[in-house]
Amino acid sequence: MEKINVILKKRTYPIVIGSNLFEVDGIFFPLKSGEQAMLVTNKTLANLWKDKVLYQLRRSGIKVDQVILSDGEQYKTINEMEVIISSLLEKQHSRDTTLIALGGGVIGDITGFSASIYQRGVRFIQIPTTFLSQVDASVGGKTGVNHILGKNMIGTFWQPSSVVINLDFLQTLSTSELISGLSETIKYAIVFDKVFFTWIEENLHSLLLLKEKEITYCIKRCCEIKSHIISLDERESNIRSLLNLGHTYGHAIESHSGYGNWLHGEAVSVGIVMAARTSEILGFLKKDDMKRIVNLLNRVGLPTKGPKSMPPSSYLPYIMRDKKVISGTVRLILPISIGKAKVQEGVDKNIILSAIKDCQ
């Protein structure tokens, strides 16, 4: 079992990584016997894991209720959040309750958002079940729901009380979900760690086969990087924004295509390539680094071309609504080498359009 702490003074919390974690006493930290909790999951996971988690919670003396939501990015809405809030009120959950998110990024985000606003804020625990949520979405306290005009436009920063990363969940993932998660892993390496990028290139086969040693190291390294960045910049006022590499373009694809038609990691993969191409046009990124990035994404099986049905001009309205836009000025996260990225302001729209066109 591996353990990492996200250092945020009084709100410091642990990330625990390992197999068979539900057999470990006290794993649902900070919940104690006799306390109240609400488990939030979706219909797919309810059939696979809900009963096992409920059994372990109740065995620990936790008084737990449950909410089962619809499965899919298209259900990451205020309406689904209302289901959680209504259930908490109906079951008479007070301000000392704890919400438990059992799911991927959608469940984690919507549960965290609900926890942040229920009675002005209650605790919540992340139990991420997808590779993408284990390496990225469950850590850092970004919560929210989608709006028809933009992804994650309604939300809060609300840190979990703990993150429990049980590797057993990965055995039930589809290949596409595993591959989708690897895009976020590659993102970390491009932005912060050239050595890690080389490690992924050399160990990709083992990762795709879910070899425990390599998978554990990969998840741990991503969590270490993100934990460090969050401790420096919790609310994304500077360095944390670099974690959005590929997301400005990727969110445009998800929003335009209809939530759920592209997996988040697939859209981010294309977004990484578009950001890299933008950087290359501007003269920052060398051609050899561009090739390495595209080659690794292709080896994983991730898309590197945007949807043909989405013309370059249709990206711009979404880019202009991106959360990194300040006073109408576009701010893009661009890789300038493998292991280093920067925020670039005022990129000419024609250059952005040219980069998108080159990646269609």
Q: What are the angstrom distances between the C-alpha of 194 and each of 230, 256, 322? A: 20, 33, 28
Rounded Cα distance between 262 and 167, Å, is: 25
Write down the pLDDT at residue 23. Answer: 87
Choosing from 264, 266, 277, 331, which is the catalytic residue? 264
Give the residue with greater pLDDT, 245 vs 328. Answer: 245
Domain boundaries, the chain: 2-172, 175-358
Per-residue pLDDT reduced to its tens digit, 122-136: 999 999 999 999 999
Write down the pLDDT at residue 193. Answer: 98
| Mean pLDDT over the full length of the chain | 96
- Tokens encoding 100: 């438990």
Question: Is 291 a residue whose pLDDT tops 70?
Answer: yes
Rounded Cα distance between 200 and 217, Å, is: 10
| Mode of pairing for the β-strands spanning 123-128 and 142-147 | unpaired
Write down the pLDDT at residue 328. Answer: 77
Is the Cβ–Cβ distance between 242 and 216 less than 8 Å?
A: no
Determine if the peptide bond prior to 335 is cis (ω within 30°): no
Averaged over 336-352, what is the pLDDT? 95
How would residue 286 be classed by pLDDT, with cut points 50, 70 and 90?
A: very high
Three-state secondary-structure class, residue 318? helix
228 is known as an active-site residue: no
Beta bridge partners of 333: 343
226 is known as an active-site residue: yes
Residue 209's Cα: distance from chain center in Å?
22
Choosing from 220, 240, 299, 323, which is the catalytic residue? 240
Which DSSP category does 326 fall into? B
82 is known as an active-site residue: no
Per-residue pLDDT reduced to its tens digit, 292-330: 999 999 999 999 999 999 999 999 999 988 877 776 788
256 is known as an active-site residue: no
291 is known as an active-site residue: no
Per-residue pLDDT reduced to its tens digit, 97-115: 999 999 999 999 999 999 9
**Do 2-172 and 175-358 come out as alike in CATH topology?**
no
Choosing from 76, 93, 221, 247, which is the catalytic residue? 247
Question: Is 279 a residue whose pLDDT tops 80?
Answer: yes
pLDDT more than 70, % of the chain? 100
Rounded Cα distance between 340 and 219, Å, is: 20
> Does the structural domain 175-358 have CATH classification 2.40.30.10?
no
Is the Cβ–Cβ distance between 227 and 264 less than 8 Å?
A: no
235 is known as an active-site residue: no
Averaged over 234-238, what is the pLDDT? 92
Per-residue pLDDT reduced to its tens digit, 164-207: 999 999 999 999 999 999 999 999 999 999 999 999 999 999 99
| Mode of pairing for the β-strands spanning 331-337 and 162-166 | unpaired
pTM comes to 0.95
Choosing from 187, 226, 256, 277, which is the catalytic residue? 226
264 is known as an active-site residue: yes
Question: Is 12 a residue whose pLDDT tops 90?
Answer: yes
Write down the pLDDT at residue 327. Answer: 67
According to CATH, what is the number of the domain 2-172?
A: 3.40.50.1970
Per-residue pLDDT reduced to its tens digit, 39-97: 999 999 999 999 999 999 999 999 999 999 999 899 999 999 999 999 999 999 999 99
93 is known as an active-site residue: no
